[in-house]
Structure 1
Amino acid sequence: MRLVIADDSGLLRQILAETLTRRGFEVIGQAGSLPELLRVVAADPPDLVILDIRMPPDQRDEGLQAAARIRAGHPRTGLLVLSHYAETSYAVRLLEIATEAVGYLVKDRVQDTDRLVDAVVRVARGEVVIDTEVIHRVISRHRAVDPLRDLTASEKRVLELMAEGRSNNAIAGEMNYSHKTVEKRITAVSRKLGLPQDDERSGVNIRVLAVLTYLRNS
């Protein structure tokens, strides 16, 4: 798998590059700013870009700007965004940019090589991966009006696992459910959240819609 790494810290880029190279990935380019990243990707589009949420020139949301432009110009390139912060607003914006082959990971996770590699592989495979810390922050917050109030405990747990990017098979294993039971729970979640049903979806990724509803109401 061919990767590009973008972060304004040269040391972190080097650590990531060395770590991922040892695990069999090919790092074909690095960048320290938004303009440099766009040039590197345009010259030789990779399979996946690992990019910081904040980069020069303004150190604001350049990672999200880059994600939008890369997805528009290179729709097959996976996007794994790293951030110092477990901010649900960033995760929501990222999922509004891309509904597949996308991930949001807190930077502390890069110290766990297995977790980083798992995220890279899953995003490149087309999955959506959201850091568990973001999900835990969402479910721990109190809401004056809870849009998830009609969900049962098991439905909330299924939605939480969906938000982490777990597949139906993985959810079944985690909850000791059959695959059919997981599908029923997901259908119930989508119905209670007012999401499109089977005959209304028209190719919409229902899992991403459910996760967005979950994150937006944090």
Structure 2
Amino acid sequence: MIGEKIYKVAEIPNSTLFITGKGDNALWNKAELLTDFNSPWDNKKINTIEFRALHNSDYLYVYFKVFDSNIYIDSERNEVENMANSDRVELFFKIDNKLSPYYCLEIDPTPRILDFKANFYRNFDYHWNWPKDEILVKSSVENEGFIVEIALSKASLLNLGLLNNNIIQTGIYRAKYNHTNKGVMKPTWISWVDPNTEEPDFHIASSFGVLELLSK
């Protein structure tokens, strides 16, 4: 893992984090605060994004708080293309650098969930879903932005081959849509890890970092 970005996920043993979508559980104060996000392909100022994660014996818990007073949601239809044109946060998980397969969660503020399986390069299976009883997502929209909370069972992470020796190889991203002077919506792609590409691309191994699950 030399040179990789690592986020250390604190353990909350003997505690269950009940998520509400409001980020109001005091247990989140035990998590490391990550705000190290940028868009290597865009000169616009990036509003603050807060990321936190915790784990216990059964779940990985994830928290996003996105500061944004101008949220854009394409809500004409609840379909893949509408979700893909909305402000959202994203988590990708890989088994290894071959990216065959890797797993993607894209979540907008409402929260709609676009979960899919993929193989390198950009071969998407939208018929695949995260096991239904192994994921919980809640959200809220505030004046200053939106919050997304996620609980993923460790059983699902293990079954998918994503949790190995307390390591989860993870991409953490944000899509922000803005009106251009031509009246169309254009995304700004924001990432924790700079994948060092000329054009925005999260679907490559170099865009992933590491979640390291700590033990007390």
TM over 0.5: no
Structure with max Cα Rg: 1
Higher helix share: 1
By relative contact order (CA 8 Å, sep 6+), the higher-ranking structure is: 2
